[in-house]
Amino acid sequence: MANGGAHASQSSKAALTLLALGIVFGDIGTSPLYAVKETFAPGHGIPLDRENILGGLSTIFWSLMVVVSLKYVVLIMRADNRGEGGIMALIALASTAIKDHPEWRAPLLAIGVFGAALFYGDAVLTPANTVLSAVEGLEVGTSAFKPYVVPIAVLLIVALFALQSRGTAVVGRLFGPVTLAWFLAIGAAGLYGIAQYPGILAALNPLHALRFLTSHMVESFVVLGAVVLAVTGAEVLYADMGHFGKGPIRIAWFGLVAPSLVLNYFGQGALLVVRPEAVQNPFFLLVPGWALYPMVALATAAAVIASQATISGAYSMTKQAIQLGFLPRMTVVQTSARERGQIYIPAINWLLLAAVLAAVIGFGSSSRLASAYGVAVTATMLVDTLLTFFVIRYLWGYPLWLCLFATGSFVIVDVAFFSATLLKVVDGGWFPLAIGAVVFTVMTTWRKGRSIMFNRLRASSVPLKPFLDSLFREPPQRVPGTAVFLTATPESTPHALLHNLNHNKVLHERVVFLTAEVTEEPWVPFQDRVRLTKLGHGCWRMNVRYGFMNEPDIAQTLEIAATLGLDFEMMSTSFFLSRETVVPVAAVSEMSLWREKLFAMMSRNAGNAADYFKLPANRVIELGTKVEI
């Protein structure tokens, strides 16, 4: 039995590793399509001779080893939030780590939210750049395809986004095998190139990278902005850790992905030593003529998979941001009955599609898109490193000198990459930064606006305990059934209760004041979600806790209350909601008037609370109230 269990465990790990190949490594796995081409682009002004090719390849290789292998796979993947990864999980973990330093919370949240906002810039450029780079392989066979590259890329992207509402369960089964074939193919192509010039392996010596980065001054710094294209997608390794676990991701990286990438990069380098003119598209010119179109097809499939992984990541990021209070409620559609992580958010889907199409049509080629790519990624990587410092210092308790050394070394690398990509702001780097700035403004405005609104509600509301004491001195008429009042301020009397008493002059036999809160941990076990407090006269206070990865479902959660002495019969239970109408008033605001109006617009268009909490539609009563901010 023990052997059978071990065998099953190994089979499960192998299956997870195969799945991780498709979901986790699609982005970084398609970097060979454009990274070498942009690193050695003639426009940088560095001669394409043997020494510079060795230096550029050595820089790519050691960037992969330091940023991906050491920083993400070895260090940051240890900073899991109850098994979950990603920048939102890291923000929550860092916030918990500094609970003894509350004055640090606001700036730390601002840094973290800025990194999260920049992720959306990456979510736009990944589909645009990878799909366009793959389709451009058609030009290598014949220039006749050149006018059709952008239209074909646009059709593929539109089809990809149009299929999102159907879920990725069916296509997802193909992701692993296709990506496995991709890595084997690029590794084989790399070996084919290395065989033409084995001396390229000298690039493993880090002295070549050091010499390359110091001997060309400004030109080397510019090239560093292209080298970073080889490590785009590293953050996804950490973000998807909760789906697959650390083990399968590490096995896939060290066992297949890293060796295949290194072989392909070195194969392209060997090709450039032998045929410098191949710099126009070294990835596709590396393969033999007979394999060109099959490789274009495989590259296109890999590009779609990389795009799908990024799009799914944007959905997950949005859901977590909603749960943590950084974005308004949106419609979240569960596309799989078995996989909770497979979701679809229509609003995000169509906004992303519009931005991706604008990038593809506006930039028109992968080389121009490469100028935009990297700025958002390097900024997010820098934020990850800064947040990790607070986790390992204040949560894990490691010595200060060790924390400064560990994260400080990576900060130097991150700052170098970020600074180099800033040189590309004018040539297109402004695009992801603009997306990030818009998302950051939206997230911080929503967070601040909600805080102001709740403070206004508290200030204008009647404290619940004194109100109930007063109410039951001369109690109103009681009617059969249970009334559940959802309130975000548990110590205050819900406006919906006041309106109900004022208009209907009655009170239900049982009254429950329910507050749902989202914690800074990803999961709260089902049995630990509900806390009940008796208030007397048939009144109860119920606190419901969800993790930011949990699916809010009040009706389902009420089943737990039965085990705590409060049973619910849904057909005799009514849910009362207060819907706040925000009125911007500059004279009393803590925000500028334009942000007030932005918050008011988001509040009006926020998803319905009844749908978000999955309340029975025929048991909900909504009562409105105006709030001046």
Cα dihedral: 342, 345, 346, 348 (round 10): -120
State the pLDDT confidence band at 1, using cuts at 50, 70 and 90: very low
Q: What is the pLDDT of residue 235?
A: 82
Query: Distance between CA atoms of 194 and 271, rounded to whole angstroms?
Result: 8
Task: With CA atoms as reference, report the closest residue to 76 among 386, 421, 316, 309.
Answer: 386
Q: What is the pLDDT of residue 589?
A: 65
In this predicted model, what pLDDT tens digit does every residue of 456-506 receive, in sequence order?
A: 877 778 889 899 999 998 889 999 999 999 988 888 888 889 888 888 889
How does pLDDT run across 312-348, given as a tens digit for each residue? 888 888 988 888 889 998 888 877 655 555 678 899 9
Q: Give the architecture (CATH level 2) of 2-324+348-424.
A: Up-down Bundle (1.20)
- Residue with structure tokens 């109230």? 625
Q: What is the pLDDT of residue 8?
A: 42
Helix (H, G, I), strand (E, B), or coil: what is residue 97? helix
Classified as helix, coil or strand, 45 is: coil
Q: How far is CA 484 from the centre of its chain?
A: 35
Tell me how far apart the alpha carbons of residues 614 and 551 are, in angstroms, rounded to a whole number: 9
pLDDT at 365: 85
475 burial via Cβ count (<10 Å: 0-12, 13-18, 19+): exposed
Residues 347 and 395: their CA atoms lie apart, in Å, by 36
- Cβ-based neighbour number of residue 517 at 10 Å: 12
- Check: CB of residue 265 under 8 Å from CB of residue 57: yes
Per mean pLDDT, which of 287-291, 339-343, 489-493, 539-543 is the most reliable?
Answer: 539-543
Residue closest to 512 by CA, chosen among 446, 430, 576? 576
* Closest by Cα among 74, 170, 89, 163 to 127: 163
Residues 6 or more apart whose Cβ sits within 8 Å of residue 546? 323, 516, 517, 518, 519, 524, 529, 552
* Residue 511 structure tokens: 């009254």
Range 52-67 average pLDDT: 95
Q: Is the pLDDT of residue 243 over 70?
A: no
Q: What is the pLDDT of residue 45?
A: 81
Question: Looking at residues 398-408, what average pLDDT do you find?
Answer: 91
pLDDT bucket at 173, cuts 50 / 70 / 90: low
Beta bridge partners of 477: 506
Of 169-183, 353-367, 463-477, 528-542, the poorest mean pLDDT is in 169-183
Residue 268 clears pLDDT 60, i.e. is over it: yes
Q: How many residues does the chain have?
A: 629
User: What is the Rg, in whole angstroms, of the alpha carbon atoms belonging to the chain?
Assistant: 27
pLDDT of res. 4 = 44
CA–CA dist 356, 332 (Å, integer): 21
Task: Decide if 298 contacts 115 (C-beta within 8 A).
Answer: no
**8 A C-beta contact, residue 616 and residue 555:** yes
316's CB contacts (< 8 A; 6+ apart) are 86, 239, 341, 343
Q: Where are the domains of the chain?
A: 2-324+348-424, 461-628
Pairing of strands 506-518, 477-486: parallel
Rounded to a whole number of angstroms, the distance between the first and last alpha carbons of the chain is 65
The mean pLDDT value of the chain amounts to 86
Q: Calculate mean pLDDT across residues 422-430.
A: 85
Checking if the pLDDT of 404 tops 90, the result is yes
Predicted confidence at residue 12, as pLDDT, reads 67
Residue among 33, 82, 31, 90 nearest 382 (CA): 90
- Give the Å distances, CA to CA, from 480 to 487, 574, 628: 22, 11, 36
The least confident of 250-254, 280-284, 328-332, 372-376 is 372-376
Place of tokens 């110091």: 214
CA 409 → CA 227, 385, 394, distances in Å?
Answer: 18, 10, 19
Query: pLDDT digit string (tens) for 4-42?
Result: 444 445 656 777 777 778 778 888 899 999 999 999 988
d(CA 494, CA 511): 12
**H or E stretch at 252:** helix 246-252
344 phi/psi in degrees, rounded to 5: -140, 130
pLDDT computed for residue 59 by the predictor: 95
CA atoms within 13 A on the CB side of 101: 14
